[in-house]
Structure 1
Amino acid sequence: MAEIAHDAGYLRNRRLRDALLRHKALSRNGVSERLFGLLFSGLVYLQIWEDPDVDMEAMALGSGHRLVTIGSGGCNMLAYLSRAPRSIDVVDLNLHHIALNRLKLAAFRHLPSHADVVRLFGMDQVRSNSASFDLFLAAKLDAPTRAYWERRNLTGRRRIEIFDRNIYRSGLLGRFIAAGHLIARLHGVDMTELVKARSLREQRLFFDAHVAPLFDRPLIRWLTGRKSSLFGLGIPPQQYDELARSSDDRTMAPILRRRLEKLACHFPLSDNYFAWQAFARRYPAKHEGSLPTYLRPENYLAIRNHVDRVAVHHASFTELLSNKAARSVDRYVLLDAQDWMTDRQLNALWSEIDRTAAPGARVIFRTAAETSVIEGRVGEHVLHRWHYLGEQSRELNLRDRSAIYGGFHIYELRG
């Protein structure tokens, strides 16, 4: 979800230290922050958990636009290419995500067909995927990315071989979802049963009967009361505290129940691949429902034809913008990174956004809580130049199929 640590030495990296750490090492909050950073020292997201269709509508994305976006799992960056923007700069501080973004771009550029791309990123238990990597992609990758995917683990398997099994059971989020399924099983609930529902009504009936009651169980209330229990969702200590303050009883269980209810009940399974990942831990088969936007056949040629318009950078958002010319960016996608930031970091970021924004520029971002994090924190000398599109933000938040955020926000540079 945001700009995160990439190896066990992250505390020695000034940019990452500034992004993650606010408290002394031996304080309670300091220990929590460092544990979060340690857990985020590897591959976290194989799939990005922001709805790209909502993003593109919010940005009114079109040909000629110049974007800067956080990379994460790379799905949305590729979806944006279907609108033929002039350029996309992808930034991330996690080298694992950098390698994943570059692999996804190479797959669209060099695999023979759309079916091959879908087999690599949209299907599980395809034993030939690593062989396709060797045949079509390895020699085309830059040296660090190739070395990353060919590196062997303690069992002798290469990293690329996770694509021979189920990549969405890998990474920190994949393990978090697996833990959630295990806890539900311990309480007698098989979460995968939800994807057998044939209508919104059946989805609602399953959720109300089997899933919602789990959040009243003592074990789950105790677990969700621990900040570290939600690190796998990409919720750092700062976000957890903000979310807890928005709950009537200052506990997390009711908030998580409402978010999961939206994911399970507000959209048909035939059009919500996020629900498939959460409940079935895979994408639907062709006859069962939709694939992510970047894997849909109608978008394949547009993405393939425009992959050369993407540049992937191991850098922070603010750092990249500081090297850009004034009035040179049209669209900014911040994901939920601002939830992590101090006032100083927010103001540094928005100073660069304001400087680099072209006429009519738009900024979109999500927040764990409902309200925008920049109001009252970013200096008025900057914010008065930006118009908050509140009504459209609220409407699109309701339509965000990933359902895990409290708020979606759009700001537009005043004319």
Structure 2
Amino acid sequence: MTDLSADIALTARRHIKTAVYQNGPFSKAGLSERFFALLFSGLVYPQIWEDPEIDMEAMALDKGHRVVTIASGGCNVLSYLTREPASIDAVDLNRAHVALNRLKLEAARRLPSQEDYFRFFGAARVGHNAQAYDRFIAPHLDREARRYWEARDLLGRRRITVFDRDFYRTGLLGLCISMAHGVARLHGVDPREIMEAKDLRAQRIFFAEHLAPLFRRRLIRWAASNKASLFGLGIPPAQYDALAGEETMADVLVERVRKLACDFPLKSNYFAWQAFARRYPQPGEAALPPYLESRHFHAVRAGSQSVSVHQANFTELLARKPAASVDRYVLLDAQDWMNDGQLNALWAEITRTAAPGARVIFRTAAMPTLLPGRVSDGTLSHWTYAADASAEFTARDRSAIYGGFHLYVKRG
């Protein structure tokens, strides 16, 4: 790597350690945190698991808005472009996520058609996506992202060739879902069979008769009680405790799977397709992420010029921005990882940079908002918590992963 690349990578690793490490290195909890940080240095989320339709509705996202968001897998960043915001700053500490976001943006600009774009990011086992990368995307991709996608794996294959196979079965999340399918099949259940359900009633019957009993199995309850078993979902040790609360983790997980399987028709929920069918639907078969829908392609292509992707810390990026210069903030679930000092530093910068009427959205593993009692009253006095709207958005979030969705609106 160049000196600049090495500096960026070193800074990112430092920020990941700061976010994750809460205990000494030789304690059991500290070792668990360090193992998670090691895993998190690679690709974690091939697909982001926050519902972009809920995000855009809660933000009242519109033309002219200036957005700062955590990048993650990039699906939501691209989907926000369907509302034509003035600018999006997407930040992430993870080098793989930064490279993925830049690949998706450059592909939107350079691939010849929407069909090519869907083939690249929406289909599986398409044997010529790597060739499309070489011809249309690579000559325009920045050096760091290109280095990432052209690196070789242990079998000598270029990393970009994963798009010739099935990208969504890679990364920590993809591997975790695949392992869950394997465990289910060992117990005689094939989760893919829920896709044969014709309506919500059939989905609920399948869940009750086949999926729910799995979480009563001794092996699965034992595995769920181990914090490391959820690292594949991108859940660090500190967030595991918030997610579990007073319940066993197996009971928490069965409720989240129940919501995913039972609360939304399969026709409208592409998160369920990825979880159970292990693929996206074909165009016209069921709902797709907004950025992959053909009707939005021209907006995504045009808007891609307004997105800047930063390998950076959210708070430090805001510190470089002028006062009252941001309209919308998307924090995903990052605050679950933070200590009180980090939360206060973040919200001090959010409050300074927020334009009048600015909106902040985020999710939490547990149901309640985590800010009262942790962020100073002086800072929170600038914000109104939309409690009723937050509860409604929580119920309607199709990804079904999180305990709570939260909306704050700047006063004045």
- With the length of structure 2 as denominator, give the TM-score of the two structures: 0.97
Give the partner amino acid of 1:340: W
Larger displacement relative to structure 2 (277-286 or 320-329): 277-286
Give the partner amino acid of 2:23: H
Q: CA deviation at 1:290?
A: 1.5
Query: Which residue in the other structure is 1:285 paired with?
Result: 282
Larger displacement relative to structure 2 (147-156 or 304-313): 147-156
| Mapping for residues 380-391 of structure 1, pairs under 5 Å | 380-391=377-388
Out of 344, 347, 367, the position equivalent to 1:347 is 344
SS in 2 for 1:344: helix
Out of 256, 259, 264, the position equivalent to 1:262 is 259
Q: CA deviation at 1:211?
A: 0.1
Out of 330, 338, 344, the position equivalent to 2:335 is 338
Once the two structures are superposed, residues 229-265 of structure 1 have per-residue CA deviations (whole angstroms, 9 ceiling, x without a partner) of 0111111111111122242xxx111110010001011
Within 2, Cα distance between the matches of 1:240 and 1:403? 16
Query: Which residue in the other structure is 1:3 paired with?
Result: none
1:146 aligns with 2:143: no
Within 2, Cα distance between the matches of 1:337 and 1:161? 30
Out of 313, 320, 323, the position equivalent to 2:320 is 323
Larger displacement relative to structure 2 (170-179 or 10-19): 10-19
Judge conservation of contact 1:246–1:369 (CA < 8 Å) in 2.
Answer: no
| Mapping for residues 184-195 of structure 1, pairs under 5 Å | 184-195=184-195
Q: CA deviation at 1:13?
A: 3.8
Judge conservation of contact 1:62–1:85 (CA < 8 Å) in 2.
Answer: yes
Which residues of structure 1 form unaligned runs of 5+?
A: 1-5
Query: Which residue in the other structure is 1:206 paired with?
Result: 206
1:64 aligns with 2:59: no
SS in 2 for 1:91: strand
| Mapping for residues 245-256 of structure 1, pairs under 5 Å | 245-247=245-247, 251-256=248-253
Query: Which residue in the other structure is 1:360 paired with?
Result: 357
Within 1, Cα distance between the matches of 2:78 and 2:10? 28
Within 2, Cα distance between the matches of 1:372 and 1:27? 29
Count residues in correspondence. Answer: 406
Judge conservation of contact 1:224–1:252 (CA < 8 Å) in 2.
Answer: yes
Give the partner amino acid of 1:203: Q
Within 2, Cα distance between the matches of 1:292 and 1:37? 29
Query: Which residue in the other structure is 2:20 paired with?
Result: 20
1:133 aligns with 2:130: no
Q: CA deviation at 1:14?
A: 3.0
Give the partner amino acid of 1:299: H
SS in 1 for 2:83: coil
Once the two structures are superposed, residues 328-350 of structure 1 have per-residue CA deviations (whole angstroms, 9 ceiling, x without a partner) of 00000000000000000000000
In structure 2, relative to structure 1, the CA distance for the partners of 1:371 and 1:287 (3 Å cut) is same
Query: Which residue in the other structure is 1:227 paired with?
Result: 227
Query: Which residue in the other structure is 1:100 paired with?
Result: 100
Query: Which residue in the other structure is 1:237 paired with?
Result: 237
Query: Which residue in the other structure is 1:163 paired with?
Result: 163
SS in 2 for 1:370: coil
Give the partner amino acid of 2:176: F
Query: Which residue in the other structure is 2:405 paired with?
Result: 408
Give the partner amino acid of 1:67: V
Query: Which residue in the other structure is 2:50 paired with?
Result: 50
Q: CA deviation at 1:287?
A: 4.4
Give the partner amino acid of 1:336: D
Judge conservation of contact 2:215–2:254 (CA < 8 Å) in 1.
Answer: yes
- With the length of structure 1 as denominator, give the TM-score of the two structures: 0.96
Within 1, Cα distance between the matches of 2:107 and 2:251? 41
1:76 aligns with 2:73: no
Query: Which residue in the other structure is 1:34 paired with?
Result: 34
Give the partner amino acid of 2:38: L
Give the partner amino acid of 2:314: F
Q: CA deviation at 1:102?
A: 0.1
Within 2, Cα distance between the matches of 1:308 and 1:93? 22
Within 2, Cα distance between the matches of 1:337 and 1:144? 25
Q: CA deviation at 1:198?
A: 1.1
Within 1, Cα distance between the matches of 2:324 and 2:52? 25
SS in 2 for 1:82: helix
Give the partner amino acid of 2:39: L
In structure 2, relative to structure 1, the CA distance for the partners of 1:11 and 1:208 (3 Å cut) is farther
Within 2, Cα distance between the matches of 1:95 and 1:283? 25
Query: Which residue in the other structure is 2:393 paired with?
Result: 396
Q: CA deviation at 1:10?
A: 6.6
Within 2, Cα distance between the matches of 1:132 and 1:213? 45
* Percent identical residues: 60
Judge conservation of contact 2:12–2:311 (CA < 8 Å) in 1.
Answer: no
Judge conservation of contact 1:10–1:16 (CA < 8 Å) in 2.
Answer: no
Within 1, Cα distance between the matches of 2:402 and 2:267? 21
Query: Which residue in the other structure is 2:179 paired with?
Result: 179
Root mean square deviation, CA, Å: 1.4
Which residues of structure 2 form unaligned runs of 5+?
A: 1-5
Within 1, Cα distance between the matches of 2:380 and 2:148? 41
Q: CA deviation at 1:11?
A: 9.7
Judge conservation of contact 1:36–1:236 (CA < 8 Å) in 2.
Answer: yes
Within 1, Cα distance between the matches of 2:246 and 2:376? 24
Within 1, Cα distance between the matches of 2:30 and 2:407? 32
Give the partner amino acid of 1:372: T
